[in-house]
Amino acid sequence: MSAFIDGELEPKERARVEAHLARCERCRAAVRTYRSIGAAMRARTGESAVASELETRLRRQLLREARSSAMPKRLRWAWVAVSGAAIAAAVMLGVMQRPDSALDEALADELVSHHLRGFARRRPCEIESDDPEEVREWVEARFGYRVEVPKPEGVELMGARACRIEGQETAALMYRYDEVPMTVFVPPPGSTAIASAERFASSGARCTMGPIGERICVSAEQPAFAVSSLPEAQMLSLMR
């Protein structure tokens, strides 16, 4: 009866149900009730009003994302061309991880979620600066711990912001590489996230896939998590 009211029956089945309904008041009443329940659900839900500000903001972000999504494909090929040797070396050194390598799933979810949300904001950074020293000083004053702020060649340092990872205030350094965003999360010393990073990268920097396709790479020298859709070898190289 349920599939009948949804129009999801084959013609033969439908004809059989219609024939039955013609002589069964109980089933006709059930059909009426089922339809009324659906109509009542729709009536009570109504149309969600979408604020024009939200739509405008999302449109801008999607167009920006569309532009940057086009980049990794080109970058990937360029990267393969120029750094085959580096990738081979990385494989030999064992820094390329097995796909089933374990980074705590809840932690991975948090990292990717903060990365996406951070860059989706109108102004992603609390401090906007491409000067590593200025960003380092801001982080130290804001969080009370020292971080190294790398600025690899060709990578744009955008600044930094604060977020909470596993309930603890964590510095997030924000970068772009040819429009592709990357966040480097540096958890505070003694935090559970630092312990996870150290465990994961105990034999050297390596990467894993996040829950929705972004990569999470963990460096060993300064325990930190980098999240981006950049190719793995490229992220590892940027973190060195």
Positions in the binding site for another protein (CB under 8 A): 1-3, 6, 8, 26, 29-30, 32-48, 50, 54-55, 58-59, 61-63, 65-66, 69, 105-106, 109, 113, 116-117, 120, 211-213, 229
Give the residue with the Cβ less far from another protein, 45 or 190. 45
How far does CA 81 lie from the centroid of its chain? 27
Of 147 and 174, which CB lies nearer to another protein in the complex structure?
A: 174
Distance of CA 77 to the CA centre of its chain: 23
- Cβ pair 159, 129 in contact under 8 A: yes
Q: Which residue has the tokens 């996870």?
A: 196
Shortest spacing between CB 186 and another protein, in angstroms: 22
| Least distance (Å) between residue 13 CB and another protein | 11
Distance between CA atoms of residues 191 and 213, nearest Å:
26
- CB 75 within 8 Å of CB 181: no
Which residues, listed in sequence order, are joined to residue 228 by a DSSP beta bridge?
182, 215
Q: Which long-range contacts (CB under 8 A, 24 or more apart) does 168-171 make?
A: 168/192, 168/193, 169/143, 170/143, 171/139, 171/142, 171/143, 171/145, 171/147
**Distance of closest approach, residue 2 Cβ to another protein, in angstroms:** 4
CB nearer to another protein: pick between 66 and 92: 66
Indicate the residue among 38 and 152 with the shorter CB distance to another protein.
38
**185 Cβ neighbours under 8 A, 6+ residues apart:** 111, 114, 163, 165, 170, 171, 172, 173, 193, 224, 225, 226, 227
Q: How far is the CB of 234 from another protein (least distance, A)?
A: 17
Distance in Å from the first CA to the final CA of the chain: 63
Nearest residue (CB) to another protein, 137 versus 166 = 166
Q: Least distance from C-beta 214 to another protein, angstroms?
A: 9
**Token pair in block for residue 50:** 């979408």
Give least dist CB 129 to another protein, A: 25
Question: DSSP class of residue 104?
Answer: -
For residue 90, the minimal CB distance to another protein (Å) is 25
Output 68 or 222, the one with its CB closest to another protein: 68
Q: Which is nearer to another protein, 2 or 203 (CB)?
A: 2
